[in-house]
Amino acid sequence: MSSLQQNTRETGAESVREFDAIVVGAGFAGLYQLLSLRELGLSARVLEAGDGVGGTWYWNRYPGARCDSESYYYSYSFSDELQQEWEWTERYPEQPEIMRYLNYVADKFDLRPDIQLETRVTEARFDEDANRWEIRTEGGERFFTQFLITAVGCLSAANVPDIKGLESFEGDWHHTGGWPHEGVDFTGKRVGVVGTGSTGIQAIPAIAEQAAHLTVFQRTANYSVPARNAPMDPEFQEEVKENYGEIRRKQRESINGHPFDINEQSALEVPEEERQATYEAAWETGGLQFRAAFSDLVVNKEANDTASEFIRDKIRDTVEDPETAEKLTPYDHPFASKRPPIDTGYFETFNRDNVTLVDIKSSPIEEITPKGIRTTDAEYELDSIVFATGFDALTGPLLNLNIRGKGGLSLKEKWSDGPRMYLGLQTAGFPNMFTITGPGSPSVLTNMPTNIEQHVEWISDCIQYMRERGLDHIEATVDAEEAWVEHVNEAADRTLLPLAKSSWYLGANVPGKPRVFMPYAGGLGTYIQKCDHAAAKGYEGFDLTSRAVAAERQG
């Protein structure tokens, strides 16, 4: 058993429990982190707000919810046995299939005994004297732990817009990130969807097929590439299983976590006819690999213009009404500078007689009335409203935990001007706290289990390193944090990503949130190298100590 034995005791009406490590969240990250901690011999407990495992996929059950990465590599790589025995049914798995997969993993590795469901963390506070974290839950429980590991995901804090009059609406409303598990029946209803990001682009075609009428309220027109989803080809699946080693190598060495071969040519160095043929082939293949059509689409504006205009032409060719097509055509940001959606029949949906598009950039929403949504131009009567308005990404899920570090400093205060972390793994002033896919890591730019696994393995190796040397306290240094924040900004500035001023990469979808580019845009392969380098140098950039030894010396 571990050096800090699991202990449970009752103090008045409170249950107080002690563990070597507490993990918050039971999605892809939390499950693998628990397994890794067990393998180190540590006592660990996962605290999960939902009544089941799944993380982001537990909460996001909206119509059309589907992964935008292909199933065969949106999966764990740590167990070859798991890779070989699991059979995917589609190119892009739907939410229920991903949930089946994660539940299968939880059962296969017997993880459930150490997962505490329906337990929402309301506060985490570092006790400097005891060198441990105290965690409190909504149910009144208290946990003490040496290591606090947040596995809350990048996209788990729903962003419900603060629109005047919402409480007066007489119909029902839902956010896609907190969808009722029993589903919502839109048959015969007048439905309004607010938002046309990745989630809206998935949900809108599905809702349109059911609703009597669908009104889409669009702030920012978006690029989208067809997914070309299809049932999984058995021969392809066998080929994948035979070559998983190479596939995973490509993922870890890639820019964005995908095992795609990127065309090494510039979009500007080939003749127009060849460039168009390359885009056409990528369009027919479908999916996020459209970004791999040429090497410079996310770093060279002139090259990107060729891809952006190609997609604009596709929108105009698809949408029959020229006025609607123009509203749906993006001009204010380069392709892939925001999270690039993929779709199944999104633009075709606007050819349906029961679908209306409202441009709320030119005609903003003024209020929600008892009967619907009123813009500056008209009122739209609705029975249901769906907010596909995304998330308070990256920082929101962490700030919601009400974390306080040394001296009682809150994470909210520390990040008042934007998140500050070293390697996206730790923030100075918050010892023994690790974050999986936090701000300053590739996080949402890869959003892949492969990226999660790299974080989990790095954290687990670090804890093992500390235990072998009698160290019990680790904290990122301020200097390392400052240098990393500067590097994150430099990496972003070498791309076109900061040009999308409405992007949630910048926090632009949440009023009052600091406008700071949050993820690391230097590429997953480069990021892994930097993390490995820090570890090889004895965890360079971190202050590692033994508090017990230090106390003895002072005594």
DSSP 82-148: HHHH----BSS-BHHHHHHHHHHHHHHTT-GGGEE-S--EEEEEEETTTTEEEEEETTS-EEEEEEE
Q: What is the pLDDT of residues 436-469, one digit of tens each?
A: 998 888 876 666 898 999 999 999 999 999 999 9
Q: How far apart are CA 529 and CA 542, in angstroms?
A: 17
Tell me the pLDDT band of 7, cut-offs 50, 70 and 90: low
Alpha-carbon span 421 to 458, nearest angstrom: 16
Res 396 pLDDT > 80: no
pLDDT at 416: 87
Extract the tokens encoding 104.
């299968």
Residue 233 CA to chain centroid, in angstroms? 28
pLDDT band for position 548 (cuts 50, 70, 90): low
Q: Residue 129 to residues 20, 236, 406, 407, 547: CA-CA distances in angstroms? A: 17, 57, 10, 11, 9
pLDDT digits (tens, 9 = 90+) for 227-285: 999 999 999 999 999 999 999 999 999 888 889 899 999 999 999 999 999 999 999 99
How many residues can be counted in the chain? 555
pLDDT (0 to 100) of residue 549: 56
Percentage with pLDDT > 70 across the chain:
91
Sequence-ordered list of residues with C-beta below 8 angstroms from that of 376, at least 6 positions apart, any chain: 363, 364, 366
For residue 419, give the DSSP letter. -
**pLDDT of the residue at 13:** 42
Q: Which of the pair, 14 or 422, is modelled with greater confidence?
A: 422
- pLDDT reading at 504 higher than 70: no
Asked whether residue 158 carries a pLDDT value surpassing 70, the answer given is no
Q: Residue 407's pLDDT is what?
A: 96
Average pLDDT over residues 73-102: 97
pLDDT in tens, 271-297: 999 999 999 999 999 999 999 999 999
pLDDT at 395: 72
Pairing of strands 44-47, 115-116: parallel
Per-residue pLDDT at 256:
84
Q: Which residues of 266-297 are buried (b: 16+ CB within 10 A; e: fewer)?
A: bbeebeeeebeebbeebbeebbbbbbbbbbbb
Domains of the chain as residue ranges with CATH: 7-157+393-554 (3.50.50.60), 166-235+251-387 (no CATH)
Residue 500: predicted pLDDT = 77
| pLDDT(1) > 50 | no
Q: Which two tokens stand for residue 103?
A: 């539940």
Residue 255 is predicted with a pLDDT of: 84
Q: Is residue 516 scored above 80 in pLDDT?
A: no
Q: Cα-Cα-Cα-Cα dihedral of 39, 15, 27, 148, to 10°? A: -60
**Mean pLDDT for the stretch of residues 500-513:** 62
Tens of pLDDT, residues 315-370: 999 999 999 999 999 999 999 998 889 999 999 999 999 999 999 999 999 999 99
Hey, what are 89's tokens? 């049914």
Residues 117-130: pLDDT tens digits? 999 999 999 999 99
Average pLDDT, the chain: 91
Residue with the larger pLDDT of the pair 249 and 419 = 249
Tokens read off for 467 = 């235990």
CA 537 to chain centre: 30
Residue 6 pLDDT exceeds 50: no
Full-model pTM: 0.93
Measured at the CA of 537, the angle between CA 536 and CA 543, to 5 degrees, comes to: 120
The residues with which 372 forms a beta bridge, in sequence order, are 369, 381
d(CA 439, CA 526): 16
pLDDT value at residue 417? 85
Instruction: Measure the CA–CA gap between 399 and 394, rounded to whole angstroms.
Output: 9
What radius of gyration do the chain's Cα atoms show?
24
Sequence-distant (6+) residues with CB within 8 A of 89 are: 97, 231, 232
pLDDT at res. 292: 94
pLDDT exceeds cutoff 50 at 5: no
Q: Is 548 helix (H, G, I), strand (E, B) or coil?
A: helix
Q: Does the structure show a pLDDT above 90 at 512? A: no
Residue range 159-210, pLDDT digits in tens: 778 899 999 999 999 999 889 999 999 999 999 999 999 999 999 999 999 9
Asked if 72 contacts 93 with a C-beta cutoff of 8 angstroms, the reply is no
Closest by Cα among 411, 435, 519 to 30 = 435
pLDDT for position 509: 59
Residue 366: count other Cβ atoms within 10 Å of its Cβ. 16
DSSP code, position 498: G
